[in-house]
Amino acid sequence: MPYIVIKEERCKGCGLCTIGCPRKLVSLSETPNALGYTVAVFSNQGQCTGCCLCAEMCPDVAIAVFKEDQA
């Protein structure tokens, strides 16, 4: 099952990944992180197709897409 990992320390909350996800599985958090950014969060892991559009949209390379189960 595909899933994504968002590196919160790299994310600056630009929101481009939220636009890129065709299933709207990526959103911005409601609370800021330690640096004051509302970082991207991933939801509904079971619905991800692994299309990689969220990662392709990210200018800070903060998203990694995996197409196999977590070990």
| pTM across the whole model | 0.85
Confidence check: pLDDT of 5 > 90: yes
Please tell me the predicted confidence (pLDDT) of residue 71: 53
> Between 3.40.980.10, 3.40.50.300, 3.90.1150.10, 3.30.70.20, what CATH number should domain 3-66 receive?
3.30.70.20
Hey, which bits of 3-56 come out as E strands?
A: 3-6, 26-28, 40-42
pLDDT tens across 29-63, in order? 998 988 899 999 999 878 999 999 999 999 999 99
Rounded mean pLDDT, 6-12: 93
CA distances for 61 relative to 24, 37, 71, angstroms: 19, 16, 22
